Structure 1
Amino acid sequence: MVSVNPSGALALQAAQAVAGAQHYPPATLYLVATPIGNLADISLRALHLLQQVDAVACEDTRHSAALLRAYGIERPLLALHQHNEREAAAAVVARLQAGARIAYVSDAGTPGISDPGARLCQAVAAAGLRCVPLPGASSLTALLSVAGWVESEAAPGFVFLGFLPAKGAARERALRRLAQLPQTGVLLEAPHRIPALARELAALGARRLTVGRELTKQFEEIATLPCADLPAWLAAKPQRLRGEFALLLHPPEATPATDPEAGPDAGLGAEALRVLDLLLPELPLKTAVRLCAEITSAPRNALYEAALQRQALQAS
């Protein structure tokens, strides 16, 4: 038997009272969001469902066993992680086909979002079975909610990038894509890789970044600062190199509308023009414009017009 502390017992009683009358069909996979750090962020529906299922598939059985014990719940556990998801999914499907109710939980947050679970859902759906989400904690939505992010016609929506590739050409492509984003980008990072990411994002200069560290935990920090200041912000306190990170890259500042007779340089900052003047003698025009837009986030069309004007002046 699992020993239930008084607060856990009260939570289970409340879960029964609130969610006990709901229907939980058999032969169903339940995707259950779990806390990203604060144990109080579990939902009452999740607590009740986790007591009812026949087994809990999970990213790490040791981690999930400790999590369930904290609430006074004990269920059979099935390991299903990024290295065995395809094979383990087949075993889960077989159990569901026999009529079982199975929950899936990742180590923290909502399964299938930068965590295992997506391939499992694909396999369950392909077998003609049902997946039911139990929503809850997510670092993505937690950071978005406090970042002061406002949609606009120029920067609609946001792009979720998750964890960037660790190294090589794939990482370089991901960083270029991030620099070119006209809208908000949200990404995640682990503590051992945050210094490298900070150096890479610093190249975006004054573009604003909201950093969420240890979200929902006791030492949570949320700060909005220019990308160029991120390395110094991390270095200011040693503990800032610990914990998980969510980062929100705000859209580039809108270029003010200009008089069409003001010339090709109108609306372009001095830094963008300086970089363009450095690149044009060394590279083909289109390449110079593309790289300048990536480096400075200046609008490509305006840079192209400025580059054409410079070439015309040189030829005259």
Structure 2
Amino acid sequence: MDDLLDSFLSYLVVEKGLSENTLESYGRDLKKFLLFIKSRGMTSAREIKYGDILDFLTHSREEGLGATTIVRSMVSVKQFFKYLLSEKVLSEDPTAHIKTPRMKKAIPGVISLDDVESILGAPDESAPEGLRDAAMLEVLDPSQNHDFVDHYLNLQFDLSSVLFVCTANNLFDIPAPLRDRMEVIRIAGYTVEEKVEIAWRYLMPRLLEDHGITDKDIQFTDEVLGFVSSRYSREAGLRNFERNLAALMRKRARKKADGEEGAWVVDNALVEQILGVPKYAAEEAEKKPEIGAVTGLAWT
């Protein structure tokens, strides 16, 4: 039977063009299978029957092999016998009625969905996107998701014990019936001071590396980072703040590539030169304490 194995591996190389690692995996699995068959006194592939394949599966489990290893091994064995059948070595396939063990996968206890309002708009089921949105509504609705059906796999899932953590920029873009079934947790946006601290700890090291420069090429202060945040990036999150810092980094990286040496000490004037006129003006009350005066009220 070793000559049949060599012939099969040659077939995989010539006809299938499989990689060397894949061939080694096939060879390792099949050699182990043939060793088991020989231990039962069989010397010809024609002697192998359905029951022998089942015994090999049982033997693999008793050896303590993991499900992934057993599945991979059975795929190799089934392909081997399929090849022998096509080459007229065998008249019937002993693995034809063997079902490859299925991998067990647990549904995660927590599923996170970002920007949920963007996928939960009124679904248009005449379009593929609408079908997706309708499915999402069914998944998230506690009254329906206990018997959610995946139509692609034709399997039923109980999602009633799954905790869905959804994020949204605008709560009121989420359909009201679904919003009423959610426990809403409001998280305030970052303050200027928090954005500055996040910039020092996380954004600056990554942006410097991404642009191929160091802190010896460009230097910031807390005041300048606060200026970028308050005058150019007043959103609750960090997206525009990071984008503006990246614009400053790109400018310095380009100048460095052109041969300019030395460090840039970034100040407000340089920020305005690169980023343009500030998008937000500082109110009088933001410059000094104003007892009894407010510039406005906002909810973020």
TM-score of the pair, normalised by structure 2: 0.22
Provide TM-score, normalisation by structure 1.
0.21
Higher relative contact order (CA 8 A, sep 6+): 1
Q: Which has the larger radius of gyration?
A: 2
Greater helix fraction, Structure 1 or Structure 2: 2
| Greater percentage in strand | 1
